[in-house]
């Protein structure tokens, strides 16, 4: 028997959370790429102590007589390519791990923020399900800033007002029609009962009564 995987419903909240996480991941990847490029173009140097006679022997432009008296060694900055490559590898690994963790965290925060932002929409949906023809007097009456959700709520309240007025007009028409039809129907019923209750009624009298 095949097992069907039930994927989560693609709600607006889920799509917003994925969108927030994706945007953060893209911007973070660009930022880390720029940082990595900047670090890769810099020289990783460290200081090493070299004896002074060795420096003099390697440089034809710096004779031993020009060294200050009493100086036995000098600090020289030497570039280590192997160390630089190792540092770049560590930076890349740490950056990828940090980016993945922050992408997951941003999706979680996006889920919470989207739920808070979409709360008025859930209120509109719940109220719309509860409203029927018997309680059209209910209104959403959303509070908060004058944003798109507030505008949608006010539009829905206006629609409910027009529906309530239409239903009231329909009920008033039905009540008036019932009242107007009650009297002639009662007269017709009374005439029929009188004509049928006469034991000596003939066909002509019944026809005339009806």
Q: Which of 95-109, 121-135, 186-200 has the lowest mean pLDDT?
A: 121-135
Of all residues in the chain, the percent with pLDDT exceeding 90 is 0
Nearest alpha-carbon partner for 170 in 198, 131, 136: 136
93-115 average pLDDT score? 87
161 pLDDT exceeds 50?
yes
Q: Which of 20-29, 44-53, 181-190 has the lowest mean pLDDT?
A: 44-53
Domain locations in the chain as residue ranges:
12-130, 148-209
CA Rg value for the chain: 45
C-beta separation of 120 from 144 below 8 A: yes
CA distance 100 to 133: 52
pTM check: above 0.85: no
173-185 average pLDDT score? 85
């Amino acid at each position: 028997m095949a097992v069907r995987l039930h994927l989560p419903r693609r709600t607006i909240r889920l799509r917003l959370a994925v969108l927030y996480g994706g945007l953060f991941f893209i911007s973070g990847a660009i930022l880390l790429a720029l940082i990595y490029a900047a670090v890769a173009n810099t020289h990783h140097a460290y200081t090493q102590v070299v004896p002074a006679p060795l420096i003099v022997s390697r440089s034809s432009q710096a004779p031993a007589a020009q060294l200050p008296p009493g100086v036995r060694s000098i600090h020289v900055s030497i570039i280590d390519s192997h160390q630089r490559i190792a540092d770049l590898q560590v930076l890349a690994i740490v950056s990828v791990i940090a980016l993945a963790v922050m992408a997951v965290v941003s999706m979680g925060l996006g889920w919470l923020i989207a739920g808070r932002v979409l709360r008025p929409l859930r209120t509109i949906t719940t109220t719309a399900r509860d409203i029927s023809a018997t309680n059209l007097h209910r209104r959403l009456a959303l509070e908060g800033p004058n944003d798109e959700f507030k505008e949608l709520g006010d539009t829905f309240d206006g629609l409910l007002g027009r529906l309530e007025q239409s239903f009231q007009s329909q009920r008033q028409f039905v009540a008036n029609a019932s009242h107007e039809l009650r009297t002639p129907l009662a007269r017709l019923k009374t005439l029929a009962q009188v004509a049928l209750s006469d034991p000596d009624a003939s066909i002509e009298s019944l026809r005339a009564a009806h």
